[in-house]
């Protein structure tokens, strides 16, 4: 993730060029939308990985989950903070809903990436306006 993030920031800065272009060009706005979708996807994926899956394992009485002390402490805090009763069918349904939302977000990120390939980069977009003014 760090490598993807760093190369993405480098490419974005190279293609956008300034914070003004980030907010004022279609390329920059699409890039912001992609970033927000990606951050939401990362948050949702982490939620599934560190909350939903261990809760489902605990409900299924998985013997491996009993060995994971950190998960058990985190899950105990999570369950008591939201005062949830561990109902397996409800947990499974919520997990499936989150997975569907993740799939939709992945498609939206890919659409944004495709749009970025066909948009005029922001650094060129602002220069086109200056050339026509002369």
pLDDT given for residue 67 in this prediction: 57
Q: Where are the domains of the chain?
A: 37-117
Per-residue confidence (pLDDT) for residue 79, from 0 to 100: 57
Question: Taking Cα atoms as reference points, which of 120, 110, 134, 106 lies closest to residue 45?
Answer: 106
Please, are residues 115 and 15 in contact by the beta-carbon 8 Å criterion? no
Output the pTM of the full model.
0.69
Return the pLDDT at 134.
42
Whether the Cβ atoms of residue 113 and residue 34 lie closer than 8 Å to each other: yes
Give 31: exposed, middle or buried? Use CB within 10 Å, 0-12, 13-18, 19+.
Answer: buried
Is 70 exceeded by the pLDDT of residue 48?
yes
Q: Does residue 76 carry a pLDDT above 80?
A: no
Express each pLDDT in 90-131 by its tens digit. Answer: 888 888 999 999 999 999 999 988 888 887 776 666 565 544
pLDDT in tens, 57-71: 777 776 655 556 566
């Amino acid at each position: 993730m760090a490598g993807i993030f760093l190369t993405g920031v480098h490419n974005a800065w190279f293609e956008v060029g300034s914070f003004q272009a980030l907010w004022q060009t279609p390329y920059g706005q699409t890039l912001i939308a992609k970033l927000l979708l990606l951050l939401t996807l990362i948050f949702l994926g982490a939620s599934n990985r560190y909350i939903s899956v261990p809760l489902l394992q605990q409900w299924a009485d998985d013997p491996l989950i009993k060995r994971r002390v950190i998960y058990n402490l985190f899950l105990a805090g999570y369950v008591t903070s939201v005062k949830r009763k561990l109902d397996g069918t409800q947990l499974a349904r919520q997990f499936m809903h989150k997975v569907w939302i993740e799939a939709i977000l992945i498609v939206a990120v890919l659409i944004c990436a495709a749009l970025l390939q066909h948009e005029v980069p922001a650094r060129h977009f602002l220069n086109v306006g200056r050339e026509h003014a002369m």
